[in-house]
Structure formats: C-alpha cells, structure tokens
Amino acid sequence: MKVEVEGTEKYGTDSYVELFNGILLDVGLTRMVEAVKFIIRPSDPLFLISIRTRKAAGLVMVSDIADVSGTEGGTMVTIRDETYAPTLISLLWHKYGRERIDQLTRLELFCKGISEKEISDLGLDPGEELKSKVLDAVWRLLPEGFKIRHNISSENVMTVVATEHDMKKEWIELAEKAHAEMGVG
Amino acid sequence: MYKVLMFDGGVYRVNELYELVEDLGGFVIQKTQIQVQIVVTLVVPEEDVPVIEKKTQELGGKLTDVPLAGTEIAVVAPTLGRHHMPHPVCDIAEHLRRYGAITVVMGLARGKGRQTAQISADEKATIEEYDAAVFVLGNFEDCILKEKIRLFENIEIPVTVVCGPDIKRVPSCEALVTGVCRKVERMRRAEEIAKLEETVAALGKIIEARRREIDEDPLFVHPAEVKQRIESLEAVQKSLRPAPIVLHLDGLRVKIPYEEWRDELASIDIFGYKLGDVTKISGARIGGSTLMKILTKSEVEAREARKSATAA
C-alpha cells in the first residue's frame, strides 16, 4: 500500500497512519487498499483522506451462489456459499420487504410470491460491499468531533474531507485535487 | 506516615500477621482468600515495615508495595466513543488497579472535537470526588495545548495528562506522560507496558506527595479505621456493588444511599466520638453513594475547644 502524508505535526500524522493500518486489518481490507493520502492540519482544523482501492470482483449472480427452485406460492433459495449470505439476505429484504422473505434456517430462504427466474437473475455487487467497508474504516478513523464532511466518490477512489465548523471552499478544492491525483495513480 | 503493603501467602498462621499489624497500630484493609492462599492488603506505620517484612518471611509469604492502594482514581476520556475510549483508557485503568487503586472510567458528555470539547461543572465536581484524575488525550500537540487544557484547568484534585505527542510541559496538570496515542488494539508490547508503568509511577509520586501533605496535619482517624466500623452496617453488607466501601486518601466512599443512611452513619462510635463529629458526610454525585471526608486532628480539637467554650 502506497501511503502519502502531509501534515503540520509529525507525531500525529504518523500515528494516524499506524491507526489506519490497524483499522484496515480489523475490517479485513489490507489487501484491497492500493494507495492512501492523508492531509492533517489540526490548527485549521482539517482532516483529509483519499483512498484508492483495487477493483472488486465482478457481478455475482444469485444462481451462482445458491440453489434456486420454484415451488407453490414462491421460490426456495438454499445458499451454497455462505460468505454471500448476509449480502443476499439484505438485498432480498431491501428489494421485496421482510414480510415476503422467510428465513427458514441459517441458509434457507423462502421468497413468497416471487418467481424463480426473478430471483436467479438478481446480481450481487461486491464493489458496493467494498465501498461500504472502506467507508466504515474511514468513519472509524476520522476524529470524532469533525462532523462537517464532504465526500467525493468515483469508481475506485474515495475522498473525505472533514472539519469542525465551516467547510471552506479551498478545502473542497483541495479534496477534489487529491481525488483526481489519486485516480490517476 | 502509613505505608500500604500487600501480603501474598498461605492462610496458615496468618492470624499472627493480623495481630502484629494491630499491635503496630496498623489495619487490614482487605482480605481475599482463595482456598489456602490469601492476599491481604494492610496499612502499617512506615517505620514498622521491617517488622512486617520479617514476619512475612517467617510465614513464607511475599510482601509487595502497593503505592496506589487506598485511593480512588478517575480515568477520564473525552468521550466514550470508540475514537477515544477503548484500549489506552481501559489499559491505564486496569494497570492502576494492579497497583492497588480503585479506578473508574469516565467519558465526558461533550468532550469530542477540538474547539467544541467541553466539560460541564457537574462533570468537574464528579471528578473532584476522586483522589486524582488521569486525562487521556489525543495525538496532536496543537489541539492539546490550545484547546484540551480547558478540560482540566480548574479541577482541584491532582491531574495527570496522558497523550501522544512529546510535549515538554502542559499547564494545569501535576504530571505528564507522553507517547500514548489512539490505538486499535490493547497495549501489550514492551514499550507500551513501559508507558503504563510510567503512568503508575507519575501517579505514585502524586499520591505520595498528597499523603505527606495530609501527614503534616494528620487525619483524626485513618480511613481504614472508619471502614472497620461501618462495614458491619446491614446496608453495606447487603450492597451488591463491587467494593461497597472504597478508601480515599482523606476519607471514604460508602456505596449506600446518603439520604437513607446519613443519620445512622453519623451516630457510629469511634474512639468515644460520633462519626458525624469527626467527618463531613455528604451525598456523592454518582447516585446511591455517600462521601465521608475525615477531619484533621487540629480541626477536631478546634471544634472541641469551641464546644467547651460555648458550654462554659
């Protein structure tokens, strides 16, 4: 992982880099982050982080990770690859509502009134999950009191700039610049 | 001055140790027995420590110095959120306990942020109920020196600041430990444990100085003596809270409701006096507890003199 740091205090910035490494290890993203840039100026106060991730694996179809069979009144789904189970269940809940998805056992679902084809054609996007994990890591890292935030997100780069009171235009420009540079590599 | 020590040994002939402590004018603060092993925290006059050492050797036990025993220390973090609270705060609190202190961990309601970090008068008063406070702050010198010092500048008990950057001096605090920053894991590396030891040493010095200061005008009774008198109270015995009586340097915290028990506490006999005459009893800010501050010998004498002058 390429790390670039700009800051007014060496100890503080170094310890944030160490902290970020620890957080990545915690959320299991160590190999997914390609580069990161920090700009930390406590006297402004400004905290900027820009992260470039590796490309996530492509779309995974439900039929690739589960057995789908149509029965009377709906479709039975038996998940084969349990690593996708939480994502699939939350996708189904989100799309059809909890009342139509019965979780019979840990890996067995009954989808009321939904056709077999409709379920089989659903796709899970690991890229979204990766993004939410990266965002989780950033929230854990950001100083707690820096509630004024501006986010920029593109396919594989995410930049967050945070401050305590007013967000200045120049900081947003700085974030846009860092975001663009990170995208180029 | 009294010295707090911890005896670790077997139960066989341990009564001889208790008798010796009593003969020397000391007290037993706590006994924890696990089958045939026993750990006894005791207080004896400083000059009699060699006698206790000799007895410990005779009984085949081990004697260790517990510099923070008989104190209650608040470990304060800007918030209880995971950005401030975990690992260093818990590790410091736990390490202080290993040296005999009773510790509480406290997060401020509005302590987050840089300029927005605040401490309320109520929080300050709560912290002041303890013997000393440890403020665990962040990673940036600018933030600590310009803003965070407001959190502890008017606190009337000794404050130790633990923070990351190597700052030479922080105003309004008695001790400073640097090199402890935000972490995502426990402090278990050798250099981290050294920092915990440094924190204990800094607090040890503060507590020692406070003990010497108290010794200049000694308390009328030692807090451990008061503890012995009140631990037989039914409410104390029925209290389910861990450590229902906590010793302070100049008093005690009794974890029974003040409103309900103040009269009974005040009427307990101690060396021919009523406890209410030799202590100031008040309600603690943390609900369901009573604070007792023991008056000094000179205060009790002055009070007696005033009484007899009024009577005459």
Q: Which among A8, A15, A145 has the least Cβ separation from residue B114?
A: A145
B183 pLDDT higher than 90: no
What is the bridge-based pairing of β-strands A33-41 and B279-283?
unpaired
Q: CB-based contact (8 Å) between A26 and chain B?
A: yes
pLDDT in tens, B213-227: 998 999 999 898 899
Which residue in chain A has the smallest CA separation from B139?
Answer: A12
Among B55-59, B240-244, B254-258, B268-272, the minimum mean pLDDT is found in: B240-244
| Interface contacts A/B by beta carbons within 8 Å | 68
Domain B72-213 has CATH 3.40.50.970: no
A57 pLDDT higher than 80: no
Q: CB-based contact (8 Å) between B143 and chain A?
A: yes
Confidence grade of residue A130 (pLDDT, cut at 50, 70, 90): confident
Inter-chain residue contact B114 with A16, CB threshold 8 Å: no
pTM of the model: 0.84
Q: Which residues of B touch A11 (CB under 8 A)?
A: 139, 141, 164-166, 181
Q: Any idea which residue has 């690593």 for tokens?
A: A83
User: Which value does ipTM take for this structure?
Assistant: 0.79
A40, A12 Cβ separation under 8 angstroms: yes
B242: left (phi over 0), alpha (psi -120 to 50) or beta: beta
> CA of B182, closest CA in chain A: separation in Å?
7
- What whole-number distance in Å separates Cα of residue A114 and Cα of residue A133? 30
What is the bridge-based pairing of β-strands A46-53 and A157-163?
antiparallel
Residue boundaries of the structural domains of chain B: 2-66, 72-213, 223-311
> CA of A9, closest CA in chain B: separation in Å?
7
B257: left (phi over 0), alpha (psi -120 to 50) or beta: beta
A127 pLDDT higher than 80: no
Inter-chain residue contact B140 with A9, CB threshold 8 Å: yes
Helices and strands in chain B, H and E counts: 11, 15
> CA of B133, closest CA in chain A: separation in Å?
23
A133, A139 Cβ separation under 8 angstroms: no
Q: Looking at residue B86, what is its pLDDT?
A: 67
Of B182, B85, B148, B150, the residue nearest A11 (C-alpha) = B182
Top-ranked range on mean pLDDT: pick from A48-52, B286-290, B304-308 = A48-52
Q: What is the CA radius of gyration of chain A?
A: 21
Which residue in chain B has the smallest CA separation from A40?
Answer: B140
Q: Which residues of A touch B140 (CB under 8 A)?
A: 9, 12, 42
Q: Where are the alpha helices (DSSP H) in chain B?
A: 14-23, 49-59, 88-98, 121-127, 141-146, 190-216, 223-230, 234-238, 258-266, 275-278, 297-311
Say how many CA atoms lie within 13 Å of B273 toward its Cβ.
16
Q: Which residue has the higher pLDDT, A76 or A55?
A: A76
φ/ψ of residue B159, rounded to 5: -115, 135
- What whole-number distance in Å separates Cα of residue B277 and Cα of residue B226? 13
Which residue in chain A has the smallest CA separation from B147?
Answer: A43
Q: Which domains does chain A have, with CATH numbers?
A: 2-56+126-184 (3.30.160), 60-124 (no CATH)
Inter-chain residue contact A12 with B139, CB threshold 8 Å: yes
Say how many CA atoms lie within 13 Å of A143 toward its Cβ.
34
What is the bridge-based pairing of β-strands B159-163 and B132-136?
parallel
Of A60, A28, A56, the residue nearest A131 (C-alpha) = A56
Task: Answer whether B2-66 and B72-213 agree in fold.
Answer: no
pLDDT in tens, B49-108: 999 999 999 999 999 989 898 899 999 999 888 776 568 999 999 999 989 899 999 999
Q: How many CB atoms lie within 10 A of CB A183?
A: 15
Q: Which among B112, B143, B184 has the least Cβ separation from residue A144?
A: B112
Of B105, B90, B84, the residue nearest B196 (C-alpha) = B90
**What is the rounded average pLDDT for all residues in chain A?**
89
Residues contacting residue B272 through CB under 8 Å, at least 6 positions apart: none
A128 pLDDT higher than 80: no
Q: How many CB atoms lie within 10 A of CB B300?
A: 18
Of B184, B124, B187, the residue nearest B157 (C-alpha) = B124
Note the CATH number of domain B2-66. Answer: 3.30.70.600
Q: Looking at residue A185, what is its pLDDT?
A: 63
